[in-house]
Structure 1
Amino acid sequence: MRLSALYRYPLKSARAQALQSSPLDLLGLSGDRRWMLVERDNGRFLTQRAYPQMSQLSAACANDGGLVLDAPGRASLQVPVPEGDSNLRGVLIWRDTLRVPDAGDEAAQWLSEFIGKDVRLVHVPEQRTRFLPNGYGLNSDRVAFADGFPLLLIGQASLDDLVQRVGRPLEMLRFRPNLVVEGASAFAEDGWKRIRIGEMEFRVLKPCERCILTTIDPQTGERSADREPLATLKTYRQKEGDVLFGQNLVADGSGVLEVGMAVAVLE
């Protein structure tokens, strides 16, 4: 087995960045989901579930830790990391409420014009990150703006199995993984508890529950009229009302991951 792809999402629910290598820290891949869009008035987070146009929004990590925004028909904008705690904004992501730095008016205006709604851009420094969902992981585990866990792994064979059932090609990026593994059987990852990639070890904590976002074409932002692949997943990957595809992980320690690294199941 080997690591066949690495993806990060600097801005939650915006386009993916494909990587050949990446440092890995307490919060997952370096720079992954450290930024988020929220409604200006109430701080509630935005995703493609309600705003599929976010699939056309590119956000790249700058060398200084800032963000470079691009979107069709718009000039790119470079956003620096907010300094200090002078401009904190209360935000809500699922059940978590936290106060994080606001990235300023210029970024808010640029993004509001693109989204068509008054939004603010926020950033999460490491000292303001969240605990994992109750009952999972250790007290030392943290997550930035990902839904619940720092890393998502999917086996390539699992997607291949789904494609065969749906009867048409499907992009892996519909499922927004960080790590893709080749060489295992379909859904082998469901049985893993601990794995090693290169020299790094990971705990496999929980299957990933899938939603309507999987029906959005990551290239066009269009939602499939037949609700695929979610409709097919429901026929054979539903458990207690949840549709499961992929596994949530946390890393033990820090290091660097590279595409091509060997993957071993430890438990």
Structure 2
Amino acid sequence: MWKKNSPVPYVTAAVTAVGVLGGAYYAYRLYCQENKKIKIPENWTKVGTLKAINAYPIKSCAPVMLEKAECSILGLKDGWLRDRVVMVIDEKNNFVTARAFPELLTVQPTIRSSILTVKHAQMEPLHVNLAEVAALQKSKTAYVWGVPVPVYDCGFEASEWFSRFLDSSAANYRLAYYASQSCREQRVTANKFYNFTPKDMGALPDELSFNMINEASVEDLNTRLNENCRVTTRNFRPNFVVEGAEPYAEDGWKFVKIGENVFEVIKPCTRCVMTTVDPETGVRNSASEPLNTLKKYRQIENEEERRSSGSSPRMGVQLALRSKPGGTVSLNDPIYVA
């Protein structure tokens, strides 16, 4: 593991990069096979602009706000920074999220070159060289919603850091880095009502590689909440925030185009208890807001669809990339829908 003030092992980074390029080509071949039957719309309507781009390198931790990013089949990418490719796991190798440990939302990751730095006000900084991890570690199996995923163990220092942070233990938790350039498998229990393809799941997100929230929908939600319960778009952990659209217009979108990147709206994003945690403090709202209010007016209306996805309220949309991987999105890009 890389230590502070020691040289970065560029050789291992270069070796890893070769594997990444080969994996990326293979992933693109799979992408072409999966998407060749999907008809991309020709007519588009502008609905707004891209106000924010957020990537979450560590699942359930704070976002990195970007001015531009590449769109890959695994989600947003900016060099070594990728969306949800690192996660905390427990002693049984099951993923750990802010549902159980809301304080994770206050952990701030950053990535410079291949160095992942993790900071928290009550902890010393942690540095992990992802290139070294990928080059030197053998992959093992961890689990996201019961689905096996290949990961590299990020080592003892990372384990001790997160173990002390979460429950003051020595080694109850470990940090794991996704060990593939292909999307993970879809869970067996995933509903079949929506137009998933096997290559839409990304690395470690709950469902899909991209998520969008409509700022106007959040503003409308806030008019229904008490003043001390109001939220921001950060409560919904989106990759993209659209500005300028009508409230809840996203319910009717089938495709979204940002710049030259085309995404298919696969399903609404159904919401859980994580929306009730203040992303700045990691403290849960005592009234379980905004979830309780959302349940009153944002249930899925179609009965068959609701039976398929459960009774959780919808807010935002889940997206899958349908244009060629490698395109970029930038702040203030126009957003079109079809």
- For structure 1, the residue ranges without an aligned partner over 5 or more in a row are none
The 2-side partners of 1:251 and 1:85 are apart by 32
Match of 1:33 among 84, 104, 108: 84
Trace 1:113-152 onto structure 2 (pairs within 5 A).
113-116=164-167, 117=169, 118-127=172-181, 129-132=183-186, 134=190, 135=192, 136-152=195-211
The 1-side partners of 2:183 and 2:153 are apart by 15
The 2-side partners of 1:148 and 1:142 are apart by 6
**Displacement of 1:115 after TM fit?**
1.2
**Displacement of 1:192 after TM fit?**
0.7
Determine the structure 1 residue equivalent to 2:299. 238
Determine the structure 2 residue equivalent to 1:202. 263
CA contact (8 A) 2:183 2:199 kept: no
The 1-side partners of 2:88 and 2:251 are apart by 32
Determine the structure 1 residue equivalent to 2:281. 220
The 2-side partners of 1:113 and 1:145 are apart by 23
Identity, % of aligned pairs?
A: 33
Match of 2:117 among 44, 68, 72: 68
CA contact (8 A) 2:58 2:109 kept: yes
**Displacement of 1:28 after TM fit?**
1.1
Partner SS for 1:127: coil
Change over 3 Å in CA distance of 1:142–1:244 after alignment to 2: closer
The 2-side partners of 1:139 and 1:45 are apart by 21
Partner SS for 2:217: helix
Determine the structure 1 residue equivalent to 2:59. 12
The amino acid that maps onto 1:73 is: Q
The 1-side partners of 2:73 and 2:336 are apart by 21
Determine the structure 1 residue equivalent to 2:5. none
The amino acid that maps onto 2:313 is: V
The 1-side partners of 2:198 and 2:149 are apart by 18
Determine the structure 1 residue equivalent to 2:238. 177
CA contact (8 A) 1:43 1:89 kept: no
Q: Which has the higher helix share?
A: 2
The 1-side partners of 2:238 and 2:200 are apart by 19
The amino acid that maps onto 1:238 is: Q
Alignment root-mean-square deviation, CA: 1.6
Q: Which string of whole-angstrom CA distances, capped at 9 and with x for unpartnered residues, describes residues 195-228 of structure 1?
A: 2111111111001110011000001111011111
- For structure 2, the residue ranges without an aligned partner over 5 or more in a row are 1-47, 301-305
CA contact (8 A) 2:147 2:185 kept: no
The 2-side partners of 1:188 and 1:63 are apart by 39
CA contact (8 A) 1:20 1:259 kept: yes
The 1-side partners of 2:182 and 2:258 are apart by 28
The 2-side partners of 1:149 and 1:45 are apart by 16
Change over 3 Å in CA distance of 1:105–1:122 after alignment to 2: same
The amino acid that maps onto 2:233 is: M
The 1-side partners of 2:98 and 2:199 are apart by 30
Determine the structure 1 residue equivalent to 2:16. none
Determine the structure 2 residue equivalent to 1:52. 102
2:238 matches 1:189:
no
Corresponding pairs, count: 264
Q: Which has the higher strand share?
A: 1
TM-score normalised per structure 2: 0.74
The amino acid that maps onto 1:38 is: I
CA contact (8 A) 1:132 1:143 kept: no
**Displacement of 1:86 after TM fit?**
4.1
CA contact (8 A) 1:85 1:101 kept: no
Partner SS for 1:54: helix
2:321 matches 1:262:
no
Q: Which string of whole-angstrom CA distances, capped at 9 and with x for unpartnered residues, describes residues 105-138 of structure 1?
A: 1111111111115101011133364134554433
